[in-house]
């Protein structure tokens, strides 16, 4: 039932516009109002059938239980509604499993950490190294946000390259991970550099092969400065193994991500680049929930908001 958009909270909709209230579920006019409302709220395609079940007493005062079966071909799903005793209101209460929310179980194991690894607040950012909005968000995190919160937070980046629109994003993620395999610090200097030198990687002709060569060159330069094993790095760069990046990308897709950047702050999602003051509100909220006192309030430079791309 991928076409069904289930309600995220208690959905209450009036059924009496222009008609006299009826209480019997077998009333044709009331049935029609219920079917039309369900189709509208769930955005059902015309090929779906809506079948109303028997109205029975419920545990909620003033409401009866009303099962509604949504059918498409051989597939069907029952959605349980509540209907008021006077037949004026249709409602649905959806439950959520608080122990299985994937936002709280993002795998950050083995990723380079910036900030305090023992901090009670973790900022996980699904990042695309070619994305201009990601570069803007990166600038808000470093140095402004990390300077503000210091040891109170830790920041972890996950790979989310949007290859359809960013031709060198996958290659950049792989190179970054090659560096991370030897040094988290060098990983971060590489990420910092790419987010502030995208035009250097793009080149005048925006040739993908030339961009790949530039990414490798920058990675080798950072490796020399960081005194890494050049032979090990060269082997990793040559291999261009997408396995790790694909796993992170699939994890992001499973979380419902459609673009980058996408931040999760102790599970709370922030889609797209946001101004620092809005980002700090979420971090402060997470700190208080963890029993930590946020830093004193201060004015944040304004960052133009934008959806990820």
What CA–CA distance (Å, rounded) separates 165 from 126? Answer: 16
pLDDT tens digits along 86-107: 888 999 877 777 777 888 899 9
Domain ranges, ordered by start, for the chain: 11-92, 103-289
pLDDT at 301: 52
As given in the structure block, the two tokens for residue 116 are 């305090």
What CA–CA distance (Å, rounded) separates 245 from 225? Answer: 25
- Using 50, 70 and 90 to split pLDDT, how confident is the model at 46? confident
Neighbouring CB atoms inside 10 A of 24's CB total 10
- Please enumerate in sequence order all residues whose Cβ is within 8 A of that of 228, keeping only pairs 6 or more positions apart, or say none: 179, 182, 183, 186
pTM of the model: 0.72
Task: With beta carbons less than 8 A apart as the criterion, state whether 111 and 153 touch.
Answer: no
Could you tell me how far CA 103 lies from the centroid of its own chain?
8
pLDDT tens digits along 194-236: 999 999 999 999 999 999 999 999 999 999 999 999 999 999 9
**Per-residue pLDDT at 14 exceeds 80:** no
What CA–CA distance (Å, rounded) separates 11 from 79? Answer: 13
CATH of 103-289, picked from 3.40.30.10, 3.30.470.20, 3.40.190.10, 3.40.50.11900, is 3.40.30.10
* Bridge partners for 156 per DSSP: 113, 124
Q: Report whether the peptide linkage leading into residue 68 is cis, meaning its omega lies within 30 degrees of zero.
A: no
pLDDT tens digits along 110-169: 999 999 999 999 999 999 999 999 999 999 999 999 999 999 999 999 999 999 999 999
């Amino acid at each position: 039932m991928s076409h069904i958009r289930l309600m995220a909270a208690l959905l209450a909709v009036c059924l009496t516009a222009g008609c006299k209230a009826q209480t019997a579920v077998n009333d044709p006019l009331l049935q029609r109002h219920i079917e039309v409302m369900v189709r509208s709220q769930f955005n059902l395609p015309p090929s779906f059938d809506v079948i109303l079940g028997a109205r029975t007493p419920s545990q909620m005062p003033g409401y009866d239980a009303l099962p509604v079966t949504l059918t498409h071909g051989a597939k069907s799903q029952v959605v349980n509604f509540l209907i008021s005793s006077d037949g004026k209101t249709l409602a649905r209460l959806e439950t959520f499993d608080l122990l299985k929310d994937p936002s709280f179980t993002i795998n950050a194991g083995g990723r380079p950490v910036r900030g305090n690894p023992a901090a009670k607040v973790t900022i996980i950012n699904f990042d695309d190294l070619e994305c201009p909005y990601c570069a803007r968000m990166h600038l808000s995190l470093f140095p402004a946000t990390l300077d503000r919160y210091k040891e109170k937070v830790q920041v972890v980046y996950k790979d989310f390259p949007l290859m359809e629109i960013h031709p060198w994003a996958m290659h950049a993620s792989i190179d970054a991970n090659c560096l991370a395999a030897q040094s988290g610090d060098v990983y971060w200097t590489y990420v910092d550099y790419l987010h502030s030198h995208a035009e250097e990687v793009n080149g005048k002709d925006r040739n993908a092969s030339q961009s790949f060569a530039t990414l490798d060159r920058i990675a080798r330069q950072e490796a020399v400065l960081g005194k890494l094993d050049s032979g090990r790095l060269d082997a990793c760069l040559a291999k261009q193994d997408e396995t790790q990046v694909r796993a992170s990308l699939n994890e992001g897709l499973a979380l419902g991500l459609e673009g980058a950047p996408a931040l999760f702050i102790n599970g709370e999602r922030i889609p797209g680049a946001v101004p620092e003051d809005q980002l700090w509100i979420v971090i402060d909220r997470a700190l208080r929930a963890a029993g930590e006192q946020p830093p004193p309030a201060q004015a944040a430079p304004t960052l133009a908001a934008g959806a990820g791309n």
